[in-house]
Structure 1
Amino acid sequence: MRKLAFIFLFAFNLLSAQEEVVHSVYFEFDKFNLDDKQANDVYSFVKNIDTTRIESIQIYGYCDDRGKDAYNYKLSSNRANTIKTKLIEKGIKNKIIVTIEGKGRILIEDDIVENLPEVRQKNRRVDVVMNFKPAPIIPIPGVYNDLKNDMVVGDRICFDKILFEKGRSVLTHKARVELDRIARFLHKYKNIHFEIQGHICCTPTFQKEAIDKDTKKRALSHNRAQAVYKYLIAKRIDKRRMSFKGYGNTQPLGNGSEQDRRVEFLITKM
């Protein structure tokens, strides 16, 4: 028994960006039924595709060039209906199968074709044409210098005005003005949830955290993040939308120590 063969052809329409997959099933001479191995291979094919994206299915049956036209049309139609039955058994909805058609025989010029038996065998087939809905676009997180109303989970916002003096976690006047503006934005877009991330500069690599001059404790990046957190709470931002964490010197920007004495937001929920 010949093995079931799979052919995957991917074509993208420039206007609709629709994906089309052609799956071909090959039959024995003068047969339209499938043995268990062939049926299982059809099931395996369906299992390995995203059936939720299938928009429509067209099924076309074919025969080789031998035999009378009427017989071949009937045989090719039977082959198409065999595959339809197997697809429905596997859970494909009947309503998305929009075409079932026996095309009859495929004519070939046997006097110029090389390897005629192989060509005829490939013509004894059913083509299952699956049209898929465009795949959903998954936004890629990025790094920005301000909040936007269309952010996605994973976006990082590095504010260039929320910077700290060396060794300190006290908010500067400039940082407070910036946080006032941010608070107004967050009141407008209440769907934004985020982690406040504190950072430091100028410590040796073996010492991930620095001492806070104001508290005398080695928790400088933590304290910077917490200072922003407390300020936003004072501005009536719901604390359930926020968390905070110190990252020490583990994420330097590489463009100067001042920029590393910073606080970033990481979007955690939209």
Structure 2
Amino acid sequence: MLRLIKFLPLFIFGFIQAQEEAVSSVYFEFDKFSLDEKQSKEAIDFIKKTDSTRIESIQIFGYTDDVGKDAYNFKLSTNRANTIQNKLLENGIKNKIIVTIEGKGRVLIDDDIVDNLPEKRSKNRRVDVVLNLRELPKLELPGFYNSIQKNHIVGDHIYLDNILFDKGSSKLTMKAKTELDKSALLLVRYKNIQFEIQGHVCCTPPNHKEAIDKDTKKRQLSTNRAQSVYKYLAFRRVQKNRMTFKGYGNTVPLGKNPEYDRRVELVITKI
């Protein structure tokens, strides 16, 4: 038996991920409850590599093989569990989240198992560290809307159908002002929403991402369009510290008729 044991690895580190728990097993030498540095480091890394915000509690269960008397094995399994607990505490794991430290004694092997018996026994000389995990928060993805909503999330795009500009112009049309009047009422109501006003253009030469504003004669048409919306919303009592504006030139086409790219969108930046 001893001749076989010396060939067994000192430590095997396993990881099983379930939906709401993660389990790591530390394997000990025969009749031992001490750890070397490698074992200790891997046991600690197992916990530290897990998202700490999801760890609700930790349970530690010690076991032995089926050799020896019950009383001795319960004591040995408890010592193994306590060894793991002490290593966790030494490395900054808070004691209050370790809710169970228990030695469960020996693990019996069926009488008809004869193949690889030393290996099967070695798998029972272990401590299981069980992390009980909180559920992952529901993932909300940004969406695309054509009006201001009460419950936006960061990244939502609001594409307002009637805020389209004449070619080469950054002046708001009457349709655009009417649309912005409606949006401003909602933005004044939902004071938590902060957003970027994004200006766009179409139909520029291949070597220019930005277009020329026919009124200013400067190549900053998309920025001027975003600024026009910014100024109008400020005029309609939307607080300036909730808004920023930026021109994106022709870099974000909708892939529709080019006239739809002469637009401004609102993108939620903070709630």
Q: Is the shorter-chain TM-score for this pair beyond 0.5, marking a shared fold? A: yes
May I ask how many residue pairs the two structures share in their alignment?
264
Task: Tell me if the contact between 1:6 and 1:24 (Cα under 8 Å) persists in the aligned partners.
Answer: yes
- How far apart, CA to CA, are the structure 1 residues paired with 2:53 and 2:244? 37
- 1:180–1:86 Cα change, 3 Å: same
CA distance in 1, matches of 2:71, 2:218: 91
Structure 1 pair 52/200, CA: closer, same or farther in 2 (3 Å)? closer
CA–CA separation in structure 1 for the residues paired with 2:225 and 2:100: 65
Native 8 Å contact 1:46 1:90 kept in 2: no
Query: Would the aligned equivalents of 2:165 and 2:172 in 1 still touch at CA under 8 Å?
Result: yes
Other-structure match for 1:230: 231
In structure 2, give the amino acid aligned to 1:90.
Answer: N
Is 1:100 the counterpart of 2:92? The answer is no
CA distance, structure 2, for counterparts of residue 197 and residue 44 of structure 1: 45
**Residue 64 of structure 1 aligns to which amino acid in structure 2?**
D
User: 2 CA distance for matches of 1:216 and 1:98?
Assistant: 71
CA offsets per residue over residues 174-228 of structure 1, 9 Å max, x none?
1111100111111111111111111111122212222223333322212211111
> 1:90 and 1:269 mapped to 2: Cα distance?
37
Q: What is the CA-CA distance between 1:83 and the residue it aligns to?
A: 1.0
Q: Distance in 2 between matches of 1:47 and 1:4?
A: 19
| Aligned with residue 17 of structure 2, among 5, 10, 22 | 10
Give the 3-state SS of the residue equivalent to 2:234 in structure 1. helix
Superposed, 1:20-59 pairs within 5 Å as 20-59=21-60
Counterparts of 2:47 and 2:124, CA distance in 1: 22
The one-character-per-residue Cα deviations of 1:10-69 (angstroms, maximum 9, x if unpaired) are 222xxxxxx201110100000112123322222222322233422122211111111111
How big is the alpha-carbon RMSD for the aligned residues of Structure 1 and Structure 2? 1.7
Distance in structure 2 (CA, Å) of the matches to 1:187 and 1:164: 24
Q: Distance in 1 between matches of 2:18 and 2:161?
A: 46
User: Distance in 2 between the 1:51 and 1:247 partners?
Assistant: 39
Cα distance between partner residues in 2 of 1:144 and 1:4: 56
The answer on 1:114 being equivalent to 2:115 is: yes
Give the SS at the match of 2:15: coil
What is the TM-score of this pair, normalised by structure 2? 0.91
Distance 1:144 1:5, change over 3 A: farther
Deviation at 1:110, TM superposition (A): 5.2
Residue type of the alignment partner of 2:176: A
How far, CA to CA, are the matches of 1:113 and 1:163 in structure 2?
80
Contact 1:63 1:72 in 2 (8 A): yes
* Corresponding letter in the other structure for 2:161: D
- Give the conservation status (yes or no) of the 8 Å contact 1:110–1:116: no
CA distance in 2, matches of 1:262, 1:231: 15
- Structure 1 distance, partners of 2:112, 2:219, is 88
1:1-270 to 2 correspondence within 5 Å? 2-12=9-19, 19-109=20-110, 111-270=112-271
Stretches of structure 1 that go unaligned for 5 or more consecutive residues are 13-18
Bigger drift between 44-53 and 29-38 goes to 44-53
Deviations along 1:148-198, one digit per CA (max 9) or x if unpaired, are: 222222222211111112222111111111100111111111111111111
C-alpha contact (below 8 Å) 2:254/2:261 kept by paired residues: yes
With the length of structure 1 as denominator, give the TM-score of the two structures.
0.91
How many angstroms apart in 2 are the aligned matches of 1:45 and 1:227? 54
User: Cα distance, 1:111 vs. partner?
Assistant: 4.2
CA distance in 2, matches of 1:98, 1:79: 16
Does the 8 Å contact 2:10/2:29 carry over to 1? no
